[in-house]
Amino acid sequence: MLVPAEEYEQFRAWSESEIDIEEILSFLWDKRWFITKITGAAAVLGLIVSLLMGSMYTSSASLMPEYSTESSGGSVQGLIEQYGGMLGMGGGTYASNSNAIRVELYPQIVESLPFQLELVEKEYYFPEHDTTATLRTYFDELYQPSAWQYITGYTIGLPFTVKEWITESMRSESTTQKQVTTPTGSTEVLHISKEKMELIEWMRQQVSASLNDETAVIEVQATMPTAQLSADVAKATISQLTGDVTAYRTEKIKTDLAYMKEQHQKAQNRFYAIRDSLAIFRDNNRNLSTARAQTEEQRLQSKYDLAYNLYNGLSQQLEQTKLKLQEHTPVFKTLDPVQVPLEKSSPNRPLIVIMLMFLGAFGVVGYLFIREWMEDSVLLDG
């Protein structure tokens, strides 16, 4: 029976490929003990590395921020618009979300430099040392790096360590944080030491806030060397974030409220003084009916009416401003509170061992094939 040429060539190519696969498997079988030794050594190395690496703990919490709406039903602004006329208050609109921070900006707020500066300068309690210190002080004086950090610092990272020593010795004077402020007290320029900036960059990787687009829930995570510290930093992050958002939304109204209270107090003092003057004049001139006395009484009565109207109007505006402050103070609902983690989040020792085992196995197989290919090339050239 004759076989077509094309089918024969396909069969021949398939047979040669099968022979190649068999040769490869046979080659690997012959080198199985060597491959096993290298793979085992890689697994042992992975176990050693994972044991030398320091443990890290992650604490998280989730918040649901308040969403402002323009509808007036049920809100303080709605009450003002509905019943403001009875109370003598104006019904002007004050959009509740006109000065709100979009929740999409919350992660950027957490990563911002002022936020991180305040976070690292905040004091935390360290029960293992029975002391209170800032994060900067903790990592500079109290924190003991893991053995793996020492090894990498004096092997792979040795050039950077030497450079750091040289930079430290050549540093002129103080490297503490300085800031230039404007006459109003707002920070204009920040001068931050290299060490603090490195700490801030590390904190940006360890502390984060993320937004779930579907549920609009903010999740805050903090990863630190100890379980208690991770929970404390997560709690401080939430407190600082909610405080900054609240301060931003209520800053203008609080300024107006302080000014309104000052003017209200002045109007009240003036009204009380004119009221007392009018009362004293009437007591002293009860039986007098001269034109001069009547004119003086009318003058005092006019001042009294003007002072009363001003005092009454400022009182109404003061109460309205207080209601607006309450309206614009955001409310954050804690869905999942901060908890002290019971288990470490890293390192994942089984994963490290498995990864190094695979790297060792693939590396030694690649090495054997390359060596075999080079030997065959030398023989062919010879």
Same domain, yes or no, for 45 and 75?
Answer: no
Model pLDDT for residues 242-252, shown as the tens digit of each residue = 888 888 888 88
Say whether pLDDT at 268 is over 90: yes
Query: Does 9 reside within a domain?
Result: no
Which of the pair, 91 or 381, is modelled with greater confidence?
381
Nearest to 268, CA basis, from 314, 334, 329: 314
Same domain, yes or no, for 143 and 182?
Answer: yes
Query: Does 13 reside within a domain?
Result: no
Cβ atoms 318, 260 nearer than 8 A? yes
Query: Does 11 reside within a domain?
Result: no
For 168-186, letters b (16+ CB in 10 Å) and e give: eeeeeeeeeeeeeeeeeee
| Separation of first and last alpha carbons in the chain | 44
Among the residues of 31-112, which ranges form H helices? 32-52, 76-87, 106-111
* Radius of gyration of the chain, Cα coordinates, nearest whole angstrom: 38
What's residue 43's pLDDT? 83
Q: What contacts 382, CB < 8 A, 6 or more positions away?
A: none
Cβ atoms 230, 222 nearer than 8 A? yes
Give burial (CB, 10 Å; 0-12/13-18/19+) of 117.
buried
Query: Does 22 reside within a domain?
Result: no
Q: How far is CA 355 from CA 46, 163, 360, in A?
A: 8, 32, 9
Domain that holds residue 175: 54-346
For range 287-316, the mean pLDDT: 86
Query: Does 3 reside within a domain?
Result: no
Query: Does 7 reside within a domain?
Result: no
Same domain, yes or no, for 234 and 270?
Answer: yes
Cβ atoms 270, 307 nearer than 8 A? yes
* Overall pTM surpassing 0.85 (yes/no): no
What's residue 351's pLDDT? 82
Same domain, yes or no, for 99 and 114?
Answer: yes
* Residue showing tokens 């002290």: 340
Determine the Cα–Cα distance for residues 242 and 61; give it in Å rounded to an integer. 13
Model pLDDT for residues 343-376, shown as the tens digit of each residue = 887 777 788 788 888 888 888 888 888 887 787 6
Cβ atoms 196, 120 nearer than 8 A? yes
Same domain, yes or no, for 174 and 318?
Answer: yes
Q: What contacts 47, CB < 8 A, 6 or more positions away?
A: 349, 353
Query: Does 327 reside within a domain?
Result: yes
Nearest to 174, CA basis, from 162, 191, 161, 186: 191
Query: Does 14 reside within a domain?
Result: no
What's residue 252's pLDDT? 85
**Plot region of 66 (φ>0 → left; ψ -120 to 50 → alpha; else → beta):** beta
Same domain, yes or no, for 368 and 261?
Answer: no
Range in 25-29, 107-111, 301-305, 339-343 with the lowest mean pLDDT: 25-29
* Residue showing tokens 């308040």: 66
Same domain, yes or no, for 178 and 127?
Answer: yes
Domain count, the chain: 2
Determine the Cα–Cα distance for residues 286 and 298; give it in Å rounded to an integer. 14
Same domain, yes or no, for 247 and 373?
Answer: no
The SS3 call for residue 64 is strand
Same domain, yes or no, for 37 and 113?
Answer: no
Same domain, yes or no, for 167 and 251?
Answer: yes
Mean pLDDT (the chain) is 75
What's residue 67's pLDDT? 57
Same domain, yes or no, for 211 and 271?
Answer: yes
Determine the Cα–Cα distance for residues 218 and 238; give it in Å rounded to an integer. 10
Same domain, yes or no, for 215 and 359?
Answer: no
